[in-house]
Amino acid sequence: MIKYALQCGEGHEFEGWFSNCADYEKQEKHKLVACPYCSSADVSKMLMAPSVAPSKKGKDMVPVATVNPMQAQLVEKIRELKQEIEKNADNVGEKFPEEARKIHYGEAEARGIYGKASLEEAAELADEGIEFLPLPELPEESN
């Protein structure tokens, strides 16, 4: 998976995740990449700093951010999406890469699945053209 910083013609900035560079280029060419704020398909990549591995000191650190009300609504929508996936798909746990391949290659019945994969396994699935959606870890509900 690859993450791009994107900006629409109206100046809204957002991020997008794609299987690879070619996947982004194909979607952008067909105007399938749209701004989540205004739905504009006039989207371009922004300059990004490369991802650098953390030092040993930061090994136990996790990325964190504060959120504004609009972002809080997006987090809630992502939470709802995760709940919908978990409600309607089979949890295959750490067998996700194996099961995803079986489904992709027609060796198992097509169905919704979710589970866990290492970054290396996810990259291999993407290289094989197997579509999947990374599910982010979200903060627990405060209620």
- Compare 57 and 128 and report the one with higher pLDDT: 128
pTM of the model: 0.51
* Residues 6 or more apart in contact with residue 46 via CB below 8 angstroms: 4, 5, 6, 7, 13
Given this model, what pLDDT does residue 18 score?
A: 85
Residue with the larger pLDDT of the pair 99 and 61: 99
Query: Which stretch of 6-15, 55-64, 66-75 has the lowest confidence by average pLDDT?
Result: 55-64
Smallest CA-to-CA distance from 19 within 135, 137, 136, 125 is with 125
Interatomic CA distance for residues 87 and 112, integer angstroms: 10
The model's confidence at residue 64, banded by pLDDT at 50, 70 and 90, is confident
For position 51, what pLDDT does the model report? 57
Cβ 43 vs Cβ 8: under 8 Å = yes
Nearest to 119 by CA among 97, 102, 98: 97
Kind of pairing between the strands at 13-18 and 2-8: antiparallel
8 Å CB contact between 5 and 138: no
pLDDT reading at 110 higher than 50: yes
Instruction: Using the predicted structure, report yes or no on whether residue 143 has a pLDDT greater than 50.
Output: no
Mean pLDDT confidence for 51-75: 72
